[in-house]
Amino acid sequence: MPPLPGSRDKARGLPGLIGRILAGLVAIAMLVLGFMFSLAVFAVAFVVAVIVFGWLWWKLRRAMRQMREDPRFRKPPGQGDVIEGEVLRGEWRDGKSE
């Protein structure tokens, strides 16, 4: 970048180098602080997700136990087989009559 009109070239030497070093240090410090805060946010999000997952698992476990104990969900032996979502009762026949 060319020097500004009316500025002295010798005055830019040392403060320019110190300014660049300070700017680099500030940039590195800001990156470190950003990583620290992002880790804190991710840690809080992880804890919340674990708590929500545990609560849902607990409720689902209870619902599954209630479903297993409910006689409406029990399959009586020999009352039909489920094949690909279709219930077959008795003898299966294709559409042909013999």
**26-59 per-position pLDDT tens digit:** 999 999 999 999 999 999 999 999 999 999 999 9
Give the separation between CA 33 and CA 27, rounded to whole angstroms. 10
> Which residues neighbour 87 within 8 Å (Cβ) at sequence distance 6 or greater?
80, 81
Average pLDDT, the chain: 78
User: Tell me, what's the pLDDT at 2?
Assistant: 63
User: Tell me, what's the pLDDT at 80?
Assistant: 56
User: Tell me, what's the pLDDT at 50?
Assistant: 97
